């Protein structure tokens, strides 16, 4: 199965609009399993309007919870917690102790040392993930709750589900909207990918983050191909990016002009390729054809991110 991961490093480059348009174009050519791996702030669903067929809880890590019926109020847990997670004021009268879930690191020290065994240690419910249907095909996506961590583990879970279900459905393409940045969620996004598509823009921060994600792809031996979005905002910077791609051996898939059709499509919850043709959507169709015909890698990419089981 071919795995295409669209990433950008910097936010706001148009990655999701481009991914949604690719989902549309892929649906016209045999279809793809779609996957939104930006679990901290997903937005592909805004354009694809998925209908949830399945909803699952994502649990990862542990958190301490004080049982007020057992707690004697000795304060040992507050003294020992290095993260300031044990706070006063559990009872209605403001007495006792409670644990601030956002501060608790799940180290278990308070659990071990509570003389009354009043502290439970439960698996943390960090978010929800979904198997959905869209007008362009099946989609796997998720939403972490605000402030929750372990997004790399959730990304790995989504990719595993997406691969399994794509194989079951006989789909030969997995199309992923990758996580932003260059950290753990992006590494998990790229794990097993056969091709990374890097969306950038001709700004200093766009160029900076392009180099960072391109270096990440090189480190993990994943071929990178580049799209310059809003390329006419700064023609010199666009030319510099093209030169950079040439020097580094990254395929340049093409330039996209700045075009208000992107905003019009967003407002209508559609993809740009669903609206009447514009220079932007025509250029995007050409880029998609280039991607379809990129030489596939002979060997599957190594698995880069294998989440550890819960401790
Ligand atoms: S150590 Fe246990 S008994 Fe003491 S305040 Fe904390 S939860 Fe209550
Ligand atoms: S589990 Fe660790 S971080 Fe959480 S409240 Fe207890 S001592 Fe603090």
Q: Residues 81-126: pLDDT tens digits?
A: 999 999 987 655 667 899 998 889 999 999 999 999 999 999 989 9
Does 297 score more than 60 pLDDT? no
| Ligand 2 neighbour 118 (Cβ under 6 A) | no
Rg (CA), the chain: 23
Give me the helices (H) in 50-117, please. 76-80, 109-113
Helix axes 235-248 and 204-219, enclosed angle (nearest 10): 10
Q: Name every residue whose Cβ is closer than 8 Å to that of residue 197 and which is 6 or more positions away in sequence.
A: 4, 5, 6, 7, 224, 225, 226, 227, 253, 291
Which pairing describes strands 51-66 and 119-134: parallel, antiparallel, or unpaired? antiparallel
State the closest ligand 1 atom to the C-alpha of 119, by its place in the atom list counted from 1: 7
Cβ–Cβ < 8 Å for 207, 68: no
| Ligand 2 neighbour 109 (Cβ under 6 A) | yes
User: CA 51 to CA 33: how far, in whole Å?
Assistant: 15
Does 274 score more than 70 pLDDT? yes
Beta bridge partners of 252: 226
Cβ–Cβ < 8 Å for 25, 273: yes
Does 44 score more than 80 pLDDT? yes
Beta bridge partners of 51: 133
| Ligand 2 neighbour 107 (Cβ under 6 A) | yes
Does 41 score more than 90 pLDDT? no
**CA 128 / ligand 2 centre spacing (Å):** 24
Estimate to the nearest angstrom the gap between the alpha carbon of 215 and the chain centroid.
19
| Ligand 2 neighbour 83 (Cβ under 6 A) | yes
Estimate to the nearest angstrom the gap between the alpha carbon of 79 and the chain centroid.
38
Please state the φ and ψ torsions of residue 22, each to the nearest 5 degrees. -65, -35
Q: How confident is the model at residue 9 (pLDDT cuts 50, 70, 90)?
A: confident
| CATH number belonging to the domain at 62-125, selected among 3.30.70.20, 3.30.470.10, 1.10.569.10, 2.40.50.420 | 3.30.70.20
pLDDT > 70 in the chain, percent:
93
Estimate to the nearest angstrom the gap between the alpha carbon of 34 and the chain centroid.
12
Does 302 score more than 50 pLDDT? no
What does DSSP assign to residue 136? Answer: T
pTM for this one?
Answer: 0.85
pLDDT computed for residue 91 by the predictor: 58
- Average pLDDT for residues 2-15, to the nearest whole number? 89
**CA 66 / ligand 1 centre spacing (Å):** 7
Cβ–Cβ < 8 Å for 38, 180: yes
Which of 76, 109, 111, 120, when mutated, tests ligand 2's pocket best, judged by the most ligand atoms within 8 Å of its CB?
A: 109
pLDDT computed for residue 46 by the predictor: 94
| Ligand 1 neighbour 85 (Cβ under 6 A) | no
| Ligand 2 neighbour 232 (Cβ under 6 A) | no
Does 298 score more than 90 pLDDT? no
Estimate to the nearest angstrom the gap between the alpha carbon of 199 and the chain centroid.
15
SS3 of residue 101 by DSSP: coil
| Ligand 2 neighbour 108 (Cβ under 6 A) | yes
Are the folds of 2-49+135-292 and 62-125 the same? no
SS3 of residue 145 by DSSP: coil
What's the mean per-residue pLDDT of the chain? 90
Sequence length of the chain is 311
| Ligand 2 neighbour 78 (Cβ under 6 A) | no
For ligand 1, atom 8: residue with the closest CA: 71
**CA 110 / ligand 2 centre spacing (Å):** 6
Domain boundaries along the sequence of the chain = 2-49+135-292, 62-125
Which pairing describes strands 195-200 and 224-228: parallel, antiparallel, or unpaired? parallel
Cβ–Cβ < 8 Å for 202, 301: no
Looking at per-residue confidence, does 139 or 9 come out higher? 139
pLDDT computed for residue 152 by the predictor: 85
Q: Per mean pLDDT, which range of 11-20, 62-71, 146-155 is the poorest? A: 146-155
Q: How confident is the model at residue 301 (pLDDT cuts 50, 70, 90)?
A: very low
> Phi/psi zone of residue 170: left (φ > 0), alpha (ψ -120 to 50 degrees), beta?
left
Does 290 score more than 80 pLDDT? yes
Cβ–Cβ < 8 Å for 251, 294: yes
Closest to 164 in 3D by CA, of 60, 35, 36, 16: 35
Looking at per-residue confidence, does 127 or 185 come out higher? 127
Please state the φ and ψ torsions of residue 45, each to the nearest 5 degrees. -65, -25
Q: Kindly report the CATH number that applies to the domain delimited by 2-49+135-292.
A: 3.40.50.300
Does 264 score more than 70 pLDDT? yes
Q: How confident is the model at residue 311 (pLDDT cuts 50, 70, 90)?
A: very low
- Average pLDDT for residues 255-267, to the nearest whole number? 93
SS3 of residue 227 by DSSP: strand
- Average pLDDT for residues 172-200, to the nearest whole number? 90
Looking at per-residue confidence, does 299 or 34 come out higher? 34
| Ligand 1 neighbour 77 (Cβ under 6 A) | yes
Number of C-beta neighbours around residue 231 at 10 A: 22
């Amino acid at each position: 199965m071919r795995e295409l991961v669209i990433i950008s490093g910097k936010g706001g480059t148009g990655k999701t609009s481009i991914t949604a348009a690719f989902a549309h174009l892929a649906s016209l050519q045999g279809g793809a399993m779609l996957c939104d791996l930006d679990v901290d702030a997903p937005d592909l669903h805004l354009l694809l309007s998925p209908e949830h067929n399945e909803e699952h809880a994502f649990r990862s890590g542990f958190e301490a919870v004080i049982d007020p019926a057992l707690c004697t109020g000795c304060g040992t847990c507050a003294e020992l917690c290095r993260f300031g997670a044990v706070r006063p004021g559990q009872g209605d009268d403001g007495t006792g102790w409670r644990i601030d879930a956002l501060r608790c690191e799940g180290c278990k020290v308070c659990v071990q040392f509570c003389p009354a065994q009043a502290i439970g240690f439960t698996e943390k419910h960090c978010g929800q993930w979904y198997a959905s249907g869209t007008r362009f095909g099946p989609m796997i996506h998720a939403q972490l709750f605000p402030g929750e961590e372990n997004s790399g583990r959730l990304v790995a879970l989504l990719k595993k589900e997406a691969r399994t279900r794509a194989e079951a459905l006989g789909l030969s393409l997995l199309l992923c909207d990758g996580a932003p940045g260059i950290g753990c969620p992006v590494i998990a996004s790229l794990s097993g990918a056969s091709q990374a598509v890097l969306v950038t823009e001709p700004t200093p921060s766009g160029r900076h983050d392009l180099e960072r994600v391109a270096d990440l792809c090189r480190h993990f031996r994943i071929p990178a191909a580049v799209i310059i979005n809003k390329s006419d905002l700064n023609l010199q910077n666009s030319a510099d990016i093209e030169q950079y791609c040439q020097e580094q051996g990254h395929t340049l898939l093409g330039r996209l002009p700045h075009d208000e059709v992107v905003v019009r499509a967003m407002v209508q919850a559609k993809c740009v390729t669903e609206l009447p043709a514009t220079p932007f959507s025509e250029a995007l169709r050409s880029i998609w054809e280039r991607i379809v015909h990129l030489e596939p890698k002979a060997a599957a990419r190594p698995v880069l991110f294998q989440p550890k089981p819960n401790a």
